[in-house]
Amino acid sequence: MTKKKQSLTTSQARKRLTRRELLGRAVGAVGVAAVVPVNGQQAIDTTRRPGRGPSEIDQRSPFVTPRRDPSATSSRTPLQDLRGTITPADLHFERHHGGVPEIDPDRYELLIHGLVDRQTVFSLADLKRFPSTSRICFLECAGNLRRGNPETPPQMVCGLTSQTEWTGVMLSTLLRETGTKPNATWFLAEGQDAAVMSRSIPIEKAFDDAMIVYAQNGDALMPGNGYPVRLLLPGFEGNSSVKWLRRIEFADRPFMTREETSKYTDPLGDGSISRQFSFVMDARSIITDPAYPRVIEPGWHEIRGLAWSGRGRITQVDVSTDGGMSWHPADLQAPVLSKAHVRFRHLWHWTGSPAEIMSRAIDETGYVQPTWETLRLVRGPWTRYHQNPITSWTVGENGRMLFGSERLQI
């Protein structure tokens, strides 16, 4: 309390300083270390001597320390610390089933075989010679929801999603080289990590928007995100975008790998039937600010967040500031790209009484992000993947933002 008062007084005092007073102070300080008080601390006057020169590679300001939160198998993007829609490559979430392999780009090979006309091996240089395409889209792990604890920041609620400008070659371009047999209906994508991650993908995706990518935000892929080459399936569950891609095999059936049978399928109802090959990620949104662990003051706040859909473009994001009683369309930040994170904003006047804020995404197919209750009704209690419920933040009189809501039972 007292600390807050002090800093307010200091900043008010600074505002009242005129330019002449500031210059006068600086002149008076010549010969001794020039300082300007900031929040009661003595800071170095950066105008008194040159700063460091250009460098080979830059680092963030020491005052800026966004961090992923690595566990043994994944690390999450600090959504609450990011402002735009592109995730810096070193903060892209990671999900590894067998660790990050170190792959020598000079020895890298991609084999395309099976039901093709010409079995072909592509080197990295071969892949780079084909016409290149860049596309901004999100990736999201199908297991991207953590709930339960009110002291959960956006990063922990759903930080297994990130967005990148990916560059590479369309898979359909490579298939013009190899040809595909008329009876080919699926392809297997296989990684060369210790997990030998492999997934079966319907051939339609190969001719639609599947990419073989070798760059991330203009630079080579990060090792953790698939260096030197990964498959990218826009809008599909992250698991199918196989990293460290070494082999694509065309067939007339799915291969029934581990990741599409025991994992990434959703037991429905009482668990006796399963939803399998549910690739497309449904529309979702999250308010990333204000959110836990922020403490806010009464007054105006811009509610900010991200919305996305694997089905296409986001057409609307609704925000509620009264626990879902009334909804207001938020502003969407252009450009609103298909299968991409879009930023939304909504001005909110917080009166200081307990409140609950939440967002709901709607996409161009008319799909509306469901409540947790609806998801449970449709999927039953056993489902673990593909959960995209509306989530909320509550705030009490003390201004502390907390995750979750009794009303939404999440």
Ligand X SMILES: Nc1nc2c(c(=O)[nH]1)N[C@H]1C(S)=C(S)[C@@H](COP(=O)(O)O)O[C@H]1N2
Are residues 249 and 114 in contact, defined by beta-carbon separation less than 8 angstroms? yes
Are residues 361 and 313 in contact, defined by beta-carbon separation less than 8 angstroms? no
Nearer to ligand X, 89 or 330 (CB): 89
The string over 198-223, giving b where at least 16 C-beta atoms fall within 10 Å of a residue's C-beta and e elsewhere, is bbbbebebbeebbbbbbbbbeebbbe
Residue 95 touches Mo ion, criterion: CB under 5 A: yes
Task: Kindly state the tokens that stand for 112.
Answer: 């395309």
> In the bound complex, what is the minimum distance in angstroms from residue 239's beta carbon to Mo ion?
4
Residue 239 touches Mo ion, criterion: CB under 5 A: yes
Q: Write the CA distances from 384 to 157, 235, 249, integer angstroms.
A: 14, 19, 29
Choose among Mo ion, ligand X, none what residue 96 binds, the Cβ cut-off being 5 to 8 Å by kind: ligand X
Residue 357 touches ligand X, criterion: CB under 6 A: no
> In the bound complex, what is the minimum distance in angstroms from residue 142's beta carbon to Mo ion?
6
In this structure, are strands 109-114 and 245-251 parallel, antiparallel, or unpaired?
A: parallel
Distance CA 54, CA 177 (A): 45
Closest-approach residue to ligand X (CB): 191
**Going residue by residue from 72 to 111, which x/- string records binding to ligand X, judged by CB under 6 A?**
--------------------xxxxxx--------------
**Going residue by residue from 108 to 147, which x/- string records binding to ligand X, judged by CB under 6 A?**
-------------------------------x-x------
Nearer to ligand X, 86 or 195 (CB): 195
> In the bound complex, what is the minimum distance in angstroms from residue 100's beta carbon to ligand X?
9
Residue 231 touches Mo ion, criterion: CB under 5 A: no
Any long-range contacts for 98-103 (C-beta under 8 Å, 24+ apart)? 98/193, 98/194, 98/195, 98/196, 98/197, 99/193, 99/194, 100/193, 100/223, 100/224, 101/192, 101/193, 101/194, 101/244, 102/223, 103/192, 103/227, 103/228, 103/244
Distance CA 248, CA 200 (A): 10
Choose among Mo ion, ligand X, none what residue 345 binds, the Cβ cut-off being 5 to 8 Å by kind: none
Nearer to ligand X, 225 or 394 (CB): 225
Residue 193 touches ligand X, criterion: CB under 6 A: yes
Element (H, E) at 27: helix 19-28
Residue 318 touches ligand X, criterion: CB under 6 A: no
By CB under 6 A, the residues from 225 to 284 that bind ligand X are 225-226, 238-239, 241-244
Residue 238 touches Mo ion, criterion: CB under 5 A: yes
**Going residue by residue from 145 to 184, which x/- string records binding to Mo ion, judged by CB under 5 A?**
----------------------------------------
Element (H, E) at 344: strand 342-350
Where on the chain is the footprint of ligand X (CB under 6 A)?
Answer: 92-97, 139, 141, 191, 193, 195, 197, 224-226, 238-239, 241-244
